[in-house]
Structure 1
Amino acid sequence: MEKVRNVLVIGGNRYVGKRLIAQLRDAGHRVTVLNRGSAPPPAGVEHLVADRDNERSLTEALGSRVFDAVVDQVCYTPRQAALARRVLTGRTGRYVMTSTVEVYEYEDSPALVREEAVVPSTVSVDLELPWDDPAFREAHYGEGKRQAEAVLAADGPAFPYTAVRVAHVLGGDDDFTGRLAHYAERIRTGEPIAVPVVNRPATYIHVEEIAGFLAWAAGEEFTGPVNAASHGTLSTEELCAAVAAHVTDGRAVFRPVEVGEVSPFSFRRSYGMDNTRATRLGHTFGDARQWLPRAVAETLGKAG
């Protein structure tokens, strides 16, 4: 990370983003945070207020500033990616988009998936879809990220970028998703946990680890997509065993279902990502099974 001295983080109000900002700041880098002003950034960073979906607002807020790297935590659609590319071309030497494992939603293989399974330059982009509709955007989360990556890839070397495809994130006392709490409540009360008849494992990453990965990626020179996941996969059964060990002496009871809604972190298809590319580029990942008990304790607090 030594090469980066001036970093812009777009978004970053909570969870991964606030840890990324703190890690960059604590490493001695100049950090600027741009968001809508709903929450102040931590001390020691510059704060810009703008609507990242409004090109004029974004341009005026940035003024004449230039950056060594930009980390965009809130790019969800191809429209947002196109706007970011227009505004930031010539302002930054590197653009890091926080993408997701969900770009692989059409892949279904028991093997860990590599980046080449989804090549951004081959993805069709439709800017006319209702990307501004929150319900549509949420229902098409993976597709929005996939098309956003495609927009960034269209300019090739003219806009150096990387898309960090993030595994499912666990840990921290501010996990707002409630997914581990879902399991804790059912284990405490003895309610069954719905899982698919064939329940696939997935890769995960600790919240501090992904913040560190994004900070590292901002200082590197590689481009294109990269998977970010801890070593090893975790099954729903392993997650529930860790939760059960923390909250009670009981155990999880599973109810396999053929169709219908299942519990969080229960998957009918594989969500496992291969992290070989990032490892070869020089990043060192942790092991999911080693940090899982700590992540559960952080999120659920005191047992009982």
Structure 2
Amino acid sequence: MRTNKMCAIMGNLTRFKELLPLTENRPIATLPFDCKYRLIDFNLSSIVNANINTVFMVFNDDETQSVFDHIGGGKEWNLDGVQNRFFINVYQDLLKQKAEHKAYYEKVIDYLKKSKSEYVVFMGSKMLCNIDLRAVLKIHQMQKNDMTVVYKRVGRDNIHPSDMLLEVAEDGKVISTHAAKESNLSEKNNLAMDIYILQTQALIEALSVGQNTNASVNLETFMRNMVVNVNSSCYEYTGYLSNIYDVDSYYKANMDMLDPKKFNSLLYSNQKIYTKLKNEVPTYYSDSSDVENSQFASGSII
């Protein structure tokens, strides 16, 4: 096992009826964003920028086509080599294994063992951000707790009832967690961003126990439950964040990119965002076009 090496798991199971029909045939992760990107680009880029070379992803079985169409062989994120690879698994297969009383987390455990990584990072799919995972790892190592949870202070308009809120002590430790739907929201709330770092061996042991005690098949739910069962501390993220769970929040996140401060915070920090390359002609602006404060993808006709 290589010291300081990280592997990654991405959970992409969240579904919101408020995002229909946009997500009728695709996960939130492959929704287009800011003309040329997909939401999954930001998680993948954070992973690549942290020198993580293997990723385990879980999707619903009817949503994988758009994922393969976008990621392809993984070349843009340097995930197309022998050592650098990504793995896509179907959530419903895990559910079937659980129904048949089989070890439903064995594929995840096998991935973690073969990664030979000291640490693992888990990332959800609906929090749009550009985070330096190496900085989170440093804090995790300094605090010497079992798990580090990434959170951001946000207003009530950036929270969905399904989200998890944190109560944080002055020393950065997690005191308790609360479901947003059961909480009295204040002006500012500690929103858990469903990004977690912990020791790989600790997660292997937790998954091994969990699948023998009827734990949730959903890895995001599993990680949330772990927060209160182990010694957990926090990392406060201060960059741009958009919590996407309905059409309004998705629209607002895109419109935020017309604000130079938010645009630069997300796309032009010290962390580059990678996406699928498209060989298209530049945007065409006719003599009669009237454009102000706008962004367009290549190939557009205005």
TM-score (norm 1): 0.35
Q: Relative CO higher for 1 or 2, CA cutoff 8 Å, sep ≥ 6?
A: 2
Higher share in helix: 1
